[in-house]
Every structure is written in structure tokens, then in C-alpha cells.
Structure 1
Amino acid sequence: MSIVRLIEADAACGRKAQALAVLMRAGLPVPDGFVVTDPGTDRRRVSAHLSRLPARAVAVRSSGLSEDSERASYAGQLETVLGVRTVDDVLAAIRHCAASAGTPRARDYRTRVDPHGDPTGEAADPVIVQELVEADHAGVLFTRDPRTGDDTIVINASWGLGESVVAGTVVPDEVTVTPPADTIRVTLGTKQTRVDLFDHGLVRMPVPTADRARGCLTVDGIGRLVALGRRCEDLFGRPQDIEWAARDGLIWLVQSRPITALDAPRTPPTEQGSGHLLVTGVPSSPGRALGPARLVRSVDEFRRVRRGDILVCRTTDPAWTPLFRLAAGVVTETGGVLSHAAIVAREYRIPAVAGARAALTSIPDGTQITIDGARGTVTGRRS
């Protein structure tokens, strides 16, 4: 088993680890860790490296050799295990993450988004083991608006660990910062739940009503995030997709990778489609599509989806990605523009509307609907 300190990571450690090393060497705030480039079972060496990390738990994340490229983000397609504590559990998580590039969903994604990559997957990807920031609030920052390609910075934020934002299980706050005056616009999300680390593991729990109604970020916090985002873009010379976590007033960077699909064809928002306005949500992937609504509530209903359907669901996780090859568009009840599902929808060049409350009860199954991913609307006939 080969182990490299995170600050020393190079191309052999995968793009995610290499980018974090660049940030660390530039003096930016990145949690410490190490990279396992040859997953095995050398418990002693892993234990020695873990003992140097002061956090009470770590995050174990894939750092695939194909991951985080300008063409293919692999957003959510490879594994991450959060809140890992013991040496044995870290070893198990390393093996799990290292093997994830060879899963059917990763192969399916690779053939669609990165057809020039290895179609058989990589037998054992490098894996990052990194201090887990037990965040008060966390999220994602894009240094360009992925819906328009302009230089407006977009931030999604929610309470607790960033898993809620990237997994699309909440409607996060959305903050936009538009130059040259850096005009700030805040749209509050509902932020219904949060994920936190407790002694017995990760727990998802309801967010108190008062916290749902207020923003996660102060004006000062927004300013510091924007400065960090621009510093990352300057370092890498291209627009960046950044994951961040804040605790006790400090902001930590846990990812910086190229924003994908900025070259996608874009059409301006159209007038509202024919029919009644059924739901509105967060514009998440531009484009417009007409097709039958297919309501899917669980993996058991995947077989109902046909090519050209518009997928309507509460949320998606990576297991749902193969449906994106069939769907003409995606509507979710939760999530935001910077969630993994929204990123993959843009890479697949299909329109998406996230955070469309009550979509599963407002959109009749099987009826013809029109989704406009630039406007964030779904129109059609009411039952």
C-alpha cells in the first residue's frame, strides 16, 4: 500500500487529491489528510497516518484518475464515506471507494459523458482520507453560473454537513454575486433537514423552524467565500466547482475542480409553455423538453421509465443516474442548482428543475408536460 501526504499529492493520486494539494501549497484552508494510491490491507501504516490527524472522524473519498476533469465531473458517481472513526472502518471504506469506478453506474456514466475514457473502469482508484470538518453549515460554490455561463458566482448553502447540498436532499439557500459591483442576491431555501456527526455516527434530523427561515451565510461569510472562490479560479486558470464547509467562523475547502458543461448550447428562457403552470422550482439545467411525466418514487419503479419521459421524483441519488440516459428532463422536489443531480443533468444535456415542491402530487403521471430548465417551470394539463 502506497500512502502519500495530501499536501504532496501529484497526478498519480488522482485529480481531486492533486487539486487539494495545490490549494494547500498555496496556503488555502484545506483539511489535512493522506492519499492511498494502492489500496491493500496494511493496517499498521494506515493507523500511523490516522494518528497524525487530530479530528475525531475522517472523510474517505475517491480520487479517480478520470474524475474531476473538464469534461466529466463524476459528480456523485464514485463513493464517499463520511464520519469514519476506527482503523478497520477506514480500511473498509478505502476498499469500497477504490472499487467504485468499476460499478455499473460509473461505467454507464463514463460511456455517456466521457466516451474516450476507459469503458471498463479503473480497477482501483486512489482514495483520499481527510479530516472531517464537522460543519455548522456547508455547501458548494461555482465561480460561474452553470445555467448561463456568465461570471456570476453561485453559492448553495445549508445547515450541517455538505452532504445535504450535494446529494440534493434539501432545497438550499442560493446566493448569487454579480460583478462588477458584486451585487448580492439571496434566495432562501427551505433547508428542511441537516446531517451531523454524533458519537454513534451520522444523523439526519429536522432543522428548527427558525433556522429554516434564516440564511446560513452572513454578508461577511459570502465575501470570504467569494474571495476563496476567485483565488481557486486564479490558481487553476479556469472556472471552478468548489465544495466548502464552515465551522466556528472558519471556512475550509474540501474540493476544487473544473465546472463541466459550460460549453453546452444555451437557449434563452421562453414564454411559459402551453397549459397550466403545474409547479415552479430552481432553474438547474437549461433547455426545454416536452414529454410524458413519469412519477418515480423508488428504485422499484425504475422499469416504468421509457426513453423520452420526463422523470419526476422527490430526489435522486447516484443509483438513479442511468435513468438520465432515458429521460428528456428531470424534475425533483428537493435539491438546488449545484447538487450532483443538477451537474449530471447538465452534462447529459437535459433540462432540470430542482426544488419543485409537491411535484409528485401536482403533476399527473403519464400526462404530457413541458419542462423549462432555464425558467424553472413545468406546465401541462391538470387532472
Structure 2
Amino acid sequence: MQKSELKTPYFMIDEAKLIANLEIAKRLKELSGVKLVLALKCFSTWGVFDIIKPYLDGTTSSGPNEVKLGYETFGGETHAYSVGYSEDDVREVADICDKMIFNSQSQLAAHRHLVEGKASVGLRLNPGVSYAGQDLANPARRFSRLGVQADQLDPAVFETIDGVMFHMNCENKSADAFIGLLDAISDKFGTYLDQLQWVSLGGGVFFTWPGYELEKLAVALKAFSEKHGVQLYLEPGEAIITKTTDLVVTVVDIVENGMKTAIVDSATEAHRLDTLIYNEPASIAEACEQGEHTYVIGSCSCLAGDQFCVTSFEQPLEIGQRLHIMDSAGYTMVKLNWFNGLKMPSIYCRRQSGDIEKLNEFGYDDFKRSLSQWSVS
């Protein structure tokens, strides 16, 4: 199968780039003793789990369906967490998870009896400090519902749990910044952590970013683990799949209203939602920073402000030309939706051999089934 034969839009995962990230993850594990579980809320494309599984220790989830997916398709350790479990949720996954982490002391009290003897029990704590570029993604933001605050903790709860989870980072590319958070946690919760078996430090630690001081991070993680006598976990998502995947689109029209807009056969609201939510422009592989021809890369949805970016090119764009929207793996395929009834991107993987493997494709029947299960006369 040749790339030119593939109909856009589609995602193309590059196995070689994925392995390059995974080799960094492997090095971190070797140096620090930390265990790594893939955050399925970021990336759940299980068709490439065969590439990832040899490097990581399991998966972590944010809801029952992710727990089941991790258990069935990844294996290893299966961590279950949710901001709010129902009793049915807990019963559904208690037998297939290795660790169940509750978001509050009330959830822990209500449901732990359903888990005891089946899985290791944990509680999410909110350290009150964090590293996040936007308030929307800041777990320690004002009035946060995520985890138990230090001043609300009942010390007796630590006699009834095996571990805790902190999630306090979003795209933290600084080892020093993360070490500062580790020190704050140790100071505030250290006597409690000494009683536990394991501590998860969540995700958002961007240890595969170019220039990241991996050895410094590893030394800090190992010291923290030894100080408190716990097994440490990280929950990487973006760090594993960053820069591995393009969303490939085609220019279907070019319009002008004070500025040229190239309309492509995709949409941020349907296919790359975080671009819209966080107002972070996408990057186009074919673009040139000093190019003379500037375009809005606009979507084909009806939302007026739905655009990927404003960028420049050395040559004018043409209708029918393909563009590669880079770094499109994290929080994309897990958020795909059928807004406007747009064509859903297919998903492919380019293997190291050069072969292109189709992981999934979608059609009208998928769109129809997503809305109702019965036929409409």
C-alpha cells in the first residue's frame, strides 16, 4: 500500500518514531526503578500496542471502558482511576484491575468493600502545587475537585490503603520544575507516604522532549522512592507518542476575505479537538516560517472559528495538495467525534519495514450507529 493511494483524512503513526520515544522510556526505567503505565486517556489506539507493550508495565485509565481496554489488549498492570465511580462502575472492573484509585475519601468509604481482596487500593491526593500551562488543565486550580487536599485528609485513611496517586503536571518539560514538585510532596505528605507500598506521580512529565535532563529526573525519582520506601509509577501519555503521528489532509478549496484560507477536509472540532479547546495552533510539515505565501488553514466544519493555524509556505497552495498536520496522536483519536457528519479519519501505521498497515477505517454505517441503533422508516 502506497501513501498516495490513501484517501484523506487519515492518521499515520510512525513505528520508528514511536520506538525512539519508547527507548527513552526504557532508559528512564533502568536508571530510576520507576514503573511506567500508559495513560489511555491520551492514547488508546490499541492496534499499535504490540509496539508499546515490551517497553511499559501496563496501563492506567480514567473510566471503566479504558480499564477493560487496557486489560484486554495491553496486559501487564491495569490501574483503574475515575473522578467519580458509580457502584456499577466499580463492580464492572474490580476483578480485572490490579490497582483501584479513588478520587475522594467518600468514594473510598463507599466502594472499597467491593475491591478488597481483589485489587490494591489507592487514593488520589491533591498536593496544592502543580505545573500546567493553562488553568483549564491545572489539577491544583482553585476549587479543584481532583484529589483530596492535605487539610482535609483523615490520617487514619492511610491505615486502610496501599498507595496514593498525585497528578499535578501538564506538559512539564523541566526536570528541575518536577523535582521542585517532588520536594513539595515529600515535605507535605512524607510521613503518610512512609506507610505505603506505592506512589503514582501521574502523567504530564515530558521526559521525551528534546534536551530533557533524563538522568537528573531518574536520580530524583530513585531518591524519592528510597526515601519513602515505595514503588514509584509514572503515567506517561503524550511523552510516549509525541511527534509520532501526522494527520494528513487535502486542500479542497482556497477562499479569500482579507486573507487567504486553505480549506482542508478535516476539522479541529471533529478530529483535533485540543487545538480548539486550548487555542494552540497546529504545525504543518510543509510550512516555511519565512515563506512568502501566508494562509489560514481552515477546517471544513461550519464553526466559524474552526481553524488549525495561520502559517506560511514558500509556494502558493493548490487545491488537491496534501498537508501533514504534525504531532497529532495525543488526545486526538480518543476525542474523535461526528460533528457535521464529517468523514472520520482512517488510522494507519507505517512499520519500520516501510509497510503501511491499516488499523481502522470508518464509514457512514459507523456514523449512523453512533446516533441510534434502530432503523428509521
Q: Report the TM range for the smaller structure's normalisation.
A: under 0.3
| Bigger helix fraction | 2
Structure label with greater radius of gyration: 2
Larger RCO (CA within 8 A; separation ≥ 6): 2
| Bigger strand fraction | 1
Superposition TM-score, scaled by structure 2 size: 0.24
